[in-house]
Amino acid sequence: MKRVYQKLDVGVARTGRTRSRVVRAVGVLLTPFYLTGAWLHGVPGIRLHLRCVWLSCAALISGRISFSEALALACNPFDSVRYFEFSAIWDWMHSGPVGGEWLDVSSPRLFSILLLKSHTDLNALLINPDMHDLAITEEKISAFGVHRRCRTFNGFIHEAGPCCERFNLVSSISVIEHIPVPDDLTALSEIWRRLRPGGRLYLSVPCAAVSFEEYLDFNEYGILKSDEGGFVFGQRFYDEELLASRVFTITGQPVRASVYGEKRAGVSVEDRARKVRGDIYPFWRESYMMGMQFRRFERVRDLPGLGVIAMEFVKKVEPCEQCVD
C-alpha cells in the first residue's frame, strides 16, 4: 500500500493573545449566521449542533461547566466531517430501539454524551487506550451527569475481558484507521465478537478512490512508536478493495453505507494545516464550510479527494441446531 509522509508545523502560533481573543469573540457572534447558512445548504448534523447549544446552556446554568467551555460546545462542537459521521450514525441508530447495553470504542466523546443524555435506559462502556484522553472523557461524563450509566476502560479492545455477544449496540467512529496492520483486523474481530446476534455495529473510516497510509511527524496520541525518521503511523484511507479485505471479511456487507467527501481534492489537508499550526482558525464557519466544500457521493471510487464512509452492520442471528431439520 502506498505511504504518504506529511510534515506538520504544529503549534507555531502566529497570532497575538489580544487579537486571538478579539477574533474568537467575533466568531461567537458570527456562529448563528454561518450555522443558518449551513442549514440552508443541507449540511448534515445541524440538529445535533443545536442539541449541543441546548446542552451547553443547561450545563452552564447548573454550574457544571465554565463559560468558556459552554461557548466552545455551543459554537464549535464538531470538527469538519464529524457533522456527517455523527448525523448519519445518530439517524441510523434511531431507526431502531436505542437502549440496553452499548459499547463504544474510542469515538469522539461528545457523541457518547449526546446519546446518553437522550436515552436514560442506555448503559455504556467506553473503551479508550489513551489514558489522558480517557481522563478528559471521565471528567466530561461526570459534568454532564451521565457517569452513573457509563463505565470506562483504559486499554485496547482485546484487553477488555471475555464479554462475548454482550452488547446490542456497538460504535466506533473514525478509530480503526489509526490501528496499524495487522492489529486492525484483531481489533475489529474483537469488536464484532462483543456484538449480540441481531445487534447493530456502526463504523466510520476515512476513504479515498485509491487507498494509502499516512505517516506524520507528529505523535498526537503517543501510543505508537515513531520510525527512525521521526514519523509515526497516522491513519489509513480505505478504497473499496481495502474495505472489502479488511472490514467486510469480518462483518459482512453493510446494510447501509453513506459516503461524504471533498468536492475539490486537497481541502482537508489545507484545513488541517491551518489548525495544527496554531493560527486562529475560523471555527465558527466549520459547519458552513462542510456545505461549501464537501458533498455526498454514491461510491468511494467516485471521490476526487478525501472522504469518509459511515456504515451500519447487523450481526446475523444463527439458527439454533435444534430448530434445523
Residue 252's domain is classified under what CATH number? 3.40.50.150
Residue type for position 156: F
Does residue 59 belong to any structural domain of this protein?
A: no
Check residue 25 and give its pLDDT.
Answer: 80
- When pLDDT is averaged across residues 310-324 and rounded to a whole number, the result is 72
Check residue 162 and give its pLDDT.
Answer: 65
Does residue 55 belong to any structural domain of this protein?
A: no
With a cut of 70, say whether residue 11 has pLDDT above it.
no
Check residue 227 and give its pLDDT.
Answer: 82
Q: Which residues pair with 101 in a beta bridge?
A: 123
With a cut of 60, say whether residue 325 has pLDDT above it.
no
- Give me the number of domains the chain comprises: 1
Whole domain around residue 129: which residue ranges? 3-15+78-323
Helix, strand, or coil here: 236?
Answer: strand
- When pLDDT is averaged across residues 258-269 and rounded to a whole number, the result is 95
Check residue 20 and give its pLDDT.
Answer: 65
Higher-confidence residue: 247 or 321? 247
Check residue 208 and give its pLDDT.
Answer: 98
With a cut of 60, say whether residue 17 has pLDDT above it.
no
- When pLDDT is averaged across residues 82-97 and rounded to a whole number, the result is 96
pLDDT band for position 91 (50/70/90)? very high
Q: Please, which residues have CB within 8 angstroms of residue 257's CB and are 6 or more apart in sequence?
A: 309, 310, 311, 312
Check residue 19 and give its pLDDT.
Answer: 60
Check residue 18 and give its pLDDT.
Answer: 58
Helix (H) or strand (E) holding 111: helix 109-118
Least confident of 56-60, 192-196, 220-224: 220-224
Does residue 265 belong to any structural domain of this protein?
A: yes
Cell numbers standing for residue 142: 461526570
Give the chain's mean pLDDT: 90
Check residue 274 and give its pLDDT.
Answer: 81
Measured between alpha carbons, how far is 112 from 150 in angstroms, rounded to an integer?
A: 9
Helix, strand, or coil here: 52?
Answer: helix
With a cut of 60, say whether residue 174 has pLDDT above it.
yes
- Kindly report, residue by residue over 275-312, the tens digit of the pLDDT: 877 667 788 889 999 999 999 999 999 999 999 999 99
Instruction: Check the CA dihedral 287-292-295-300 and report its sign.
Output: negative
Check residue 278 and give its pLDDT.
Answer: 64
Q: 18: exposed, middle or buried (C-beta count within 10 Å: 0-12, 13-18, 19+)? A: exposed
Q: pTM score, two decimals?
A: 0.91
Q: What percent of the chain has pLDDT over 90?
A: 72
- Kindly report, residue by residue over 198-249, the tens digit of the pLDDT: 999 999 999 999 999 999 887 777 778 888 788 999 999 999 999 999 999 9
Does residue 283 belong to any structural domain of this protein?
A: yes
Higher-confidence residue: 15 or 263? 263
Instruction: Tell me which residue of 176, 195, 167, 205 sits closest to 85, measured CA to CA.
Output: 205
Does residue 47 belong to any structural domain of this protein?
A: no
Does residue 273 belong to any structural domain of this protein?
A: yes
With a cut of 90, say whether residue 271 has pLDDT above it.
no
Cell numbers standing for residue 186: 484483531
